[in-house]
Structure 1
């Protein structure tokens, strides 16, 4: 029988109407859902360290560095969006993940290096978000303690129970099978990110008014209040904090893979989402970071809403920190779903006949709905969350971990691979003006990444001198 007739009959019965050109379930994402995913990934816990970062750099360098990072992120992201399809931007072969794109354009050892860096970074982000969420949960307890017992009471609280609570929550949400099924979680998380960022901004403005003017200096914390070595290390770490605050390139291709098929091309939609998201994010970052620095000057806390530069109104701080926790529950999933999917696809390819890896157990959720439970997914994702939670309990240093993650992921994933793929895709001649400019940009970002990593490692080393594992108290 003619295959085309079969296909026509199937389409007439609606069998293929819900499939895309690659045979997968039809994608339904839009510029707004993509923007929600990006904002969820970008406006994360990193925004809370920006006041501290600007305090290290001062009124001149702080905002300038932040704007430069936003331009670099936006530019390299536009290069990366064109790599979603190989060849024609509308009919070319899809690259479902960042690693797929690198494989299609660069190949060889670079694919393994990229995959290793990407998934290690996603693993690190899970740790960073666990730390940040536990600190915010602790801050709710401490703000109520300060309200009842006074600001001079130390209100010491261990972070470990809160990390466990967050971990249990993530075990439950991590059983959502696919990335495209968490769009609603991203929208909730994006709303939460605007909520706590707005509260932080409002409290900063109120504090500036109460102070009668802006605090801070053109060059940041002066030598004297800190040693010369501390000034250097902290300034370098500030670069890592800002880089982390903008980090989302590692999941850009995965977000783009949720956008509905052309026309217009997924790249055009993603570029609009990227422009909107980076612009909104930068405005928020500038306002939150600068107003936090203006409010506290050199004493800007490492975490704006949990460092207790603010004590009142305590209920508003509680709302802000609750919003942070809800946001991080969603952001954790946005970042970890690509890693979950990678391991599960590898396991299915390696053991295709194993029921443990391939079989789904149908669990009825009502008369019309059911949930497909996969045993391997249950075991592997639970183990992942448990491991990240334990490591978070061993290294609960918010600022240092954030700076280190930002530094390690910034150059290779945000700059180097997008530029190299663009050069191959557009066949940019070696030693041409465009090629030289791209290489200069890549080299400059490499230097920044190395310097920021060094500053963050120095901070971790200092923290470890006085830290006792599993006995952290604040």
Structure 2
């Protein structure tokens, strides 16, 4: 995922804590600092000059500074220009969803479901995802307060225990996403190597995964915060447009030039087909959800709920078109032989395929950083809270960043090289993230807030959706883990796939 960020600026120093003002952030969890939601309800209120909601609670202290303003003006953080219009947020959503992951959906969804179940499931989850995100956006100002983090909203409505559970689950999701993203970067580099090498097996995928992890490690060290990432995220839409156009164009070309009819049957035993089909549901859910909607809604102008609804309409029309186009076109062109990384299936032209791989690699390097920054922010704040006068490039901050980020990236790269199953990690991420948070938790919070005014049928409807989310979570997570185990038993670690 990738998006531009306008957001908060931390006034470093414990004496300035009362002046910390939250008026918007541009990414999930870059503002994750404390585990106690009750501490966020301190009586420090400021008036938002661009809001119909006068009270906006301050964020807790953070060593990350995200956003710009005129420091001579004590209210510079409240400038209307720092808030985004609904269509700007819509483009942020599009940039977040149309990442390099779209190259995996033909082989991870359509090849596992086929022409009948595939479009039906895609359509059902498309509608369900829009509905759930619409409800979640409606809860943004619950209790007269703009909830800028997913866990803040969950904690405010359901209590501290759910706050902590959401926090832990979100960090687990982000960690798995980083592993899968590093694998995807390795796939991109391997695609470039295969296109121009006469001995493609000389360098195996795990080696490319290690190279990708090292490249991202350098990027993570030299880009301390989301504020430093602004120009990179702005370029991500352009990069995505290039590799999506090339992927669709080459798929059409290969499809029309195919000498034999494509095979669209479902491969494997009945057990394999069943588990893969169930696991593919998590991949579809992953394609249409992000788990960071409250964080993105925090930057939208008032009326925040209405404007976020407009942005969601934009995302689920203009933004999802490339996802569905790539998914259907590639499956039509290659049938059940389509590779989980689409660019490995295309036959050329070779320079265009190599260019698409380069664009996918660069775009995903940025996306990895977006996934990982919430954890970096937490660790940087934890180790830097007694050094609030230090800057990003002080000796202390540099050492902490080198040790903590280097350790995390090394561990993620190790697991990615050990078991480079990109598709399995995508499905597992969707299973343990989307269904619990974007499906079940949303309806539980909506019932808690509005249930007293609901009819019996409305209450029953939301409980049915909660129950369905629980079933899908268990089923898809089981299928995803089973697929990882199955692939691992037939795979020699650190060898090519």
Same fold (TM > 0.5): yes
Change (3 A) 1:77 1:119: same
Change (3 A) 1:48 1:362: closer
- The equivalent residue for 2:137 is 81
- Corresponding position: 1:35 with 2:90: yes
**Any gaps of 5 or more consecutive residues in structure 1?**
1-6, 365-370
CA distance in 1 between partners of 2:228 and 2:296 (Å): 12
Change (3 A) 1:44 1:428: farther
Q: What CA deviation, in whole Å up to 9, does each residue of 1:320-341 have, x standing for no partner?
A: 1111111111211222222323
- The equivalent residue for 2:112 is 56
CA distance in 2 between partners of 1:449 and 1:80 (Å): 19
CA distance in 2 between partners of 1:299 and 1:435 (Å): 45
Contact 1:241 1:402 in 2 (8 A): yes
Contact 2:243 2:356 in 1 (8 A): yes
Change (3 A) 1:32 1:319: farther
**Any gaps of 5 or more consecutive residues in structure 2?**
1-45, 47-69
- The equivalent residue for 2:318 is 280
- Corresponding position: 1:472 with 2:495: yes
Contact 1:251 1:338 in 2 (8 A): no
- The equivalent residue for 1:97 is 149
Contact 1:36 1:187 in 2 (8 A): no
Contact 2:206 2:418 in 1 (8 A): no
Deviation for aligned residue 1:112:
1.6
- The equivalent residue for 2:270 is 228
Normalised to the residue count of structure 2, the TM-score between the two structures is: 0.78
Match of 2:348 among 312, 317, 325: 312
RMSD: 3.0
Q: What CA deviation, in whole Å up to 9, does each residue of 1:448-473 have, x standing for no partner?
A: 3322222222211121113333x322
- The equivalent residue for 1:130 is 182
Contact 2:180 2:425 in 1 (8 A): yes
Contact 1:156 1:473 in 2 (8 A): no
CA distance in 2 between partners of 1:13 and 1:232 (Å): 59
Change (3 A) 1:281 1:430: same
Three-state SS of the structure 2 residue aligned to 1:94 is coil
Deviation for aligned residue 1:41:
2.6
Considering Cα pairs closer than 8 Å and 6+ residues apart, tell me whether 1 or 2 has the greater RCO. Answer: 1
Match of 1:321 among 330, 353, 357: 357
Three-state SS of the structure 1 residue aligned to 2:114 is helix
Deviation for aligned residue 1:445:
3.1
- The equivalent residue for 1:241 is 283
Change (3 A) 1:13 1:121: closer
Normalised to the residue count of structure 1, the TM-score between the two structures is: 0.82
Moved over 6 A (4+): none
Deviation for aligned residue 1:114:
1.2
- The equivalent residue for 2:9 is none
Contact 2:106 2:340 in 1 (8 A): yes
